[in-house]
Amino acid sequence: AQRVTQPEKLLSVFKGAPVELKCNYSYSGSPELFWYVQYSRQRLQLLLRHISRESIKGFTADLNKGETSFHLKKPFAQEEDSAMYYCALSRYGSSNTGKLIFGQGTTLQVKP
Amino acid sequence: EAQVTQNPRYLITVTGKKLTVTCSQNMNHEYMSWYRQDPGLGLRQIYYSMNVEVTDKGDVPEGYKVSRKEKRNFPLILESPSPNQTSLYFCASSSFKAGALSNQPQHFGDGTRLSIL
């Protein structure tokens, strides 16, 4: 079964501390992984995707196919990073339907 | 401004009273989708549409209908709402096209909070 698991509902850290939001997936085909973020009173929006291999707002995520993980990391958390983060998966390949499978979400709280 | 617009933002209604949640996008996207968000479950896809007159079921389509008569609009219809459809609903669109290898970023609306009593 296709599944995305984010084991932490809430992650609370102090400003300047490193952050790692965990994401594990279960998928039999070739996956494409994403992180979406929802800041307070804003729309859900794409943060980054593994295909791009880029860093956005200091966040990075590496797809580890051996461990089936796509953890989101930032070395030094900022208060403005406080938000709800969703890991999502879709199929990569010609049979892609555009569907995203979301994890349950993790609320990141960065304390001053 | 490029955006996805949903209406209404909030609705409280009663069991069995048909309702429609509208969704409109101004980005000329072919792909549109509806999700529901429930605590502990994340977002789950209800229906999606690859283009005009092309719709298909997502993971939780029971109790919902959609239509795609125009490219910009993708309304979600609850013919006979029930309390288990109380949820937060999101419409999304993207430039994804059928046959593409890779997904495209999805643009989300602000959400519609439905309460069915």
A26-to-A30, A83, A84, B37 alpha-carbon distances in Å:
11, 25, 22, 20
- Residue B12 tokens, joined: 């409280």
Minimum distance, in Å, between the CA of residue B74 and any CA atom of chain A: 16
Cross-chain Cβ contact B44/A102 below 8 Å: yes
Of B43, B102, B108, the CB nearest to A51: B102
Nearest CA to CA, how far is B30 from chain A (Å)? 11
pLDDT value of position A24: 96
Distance from CA of A110 to the nearest CA of B (A): 21
Q: Which two tokens stand for residue A87?
A: 């890991």
**Higher per-residue pLDDT: A55 or B10:** B10
Instruction: Using pLDDT thresholds of 50, 70 and 90, give the confidence band for residue B12.
Output: very high
| Interchain contact A95–B (C-beta under 8 A) | no
- Residues B28-63: tens digit of each pLDDT: 999 999 999 998 888 999 999 999 999 999 999 999
- Cβ distance of B96 and A98 shorter than 8 Å: yes
Give pLDDT, residue A55: 82
Question: Does the beta-carbon distance from B44 to A34 stay under 8 Å?
Answer: no
pLDDT tens per residue across span A81-100: 999 999 999 887 777 778 88
Burial category of A11 from C-beta neighbours within 10 Å (exposed 0-12, middle 13-18, buried 19 and up) = middle
Please write the tens of the pLDDT for every residue from B68-114: 999 999 999 999 999 999 999 999 999 888 778 788 888 999 999 99
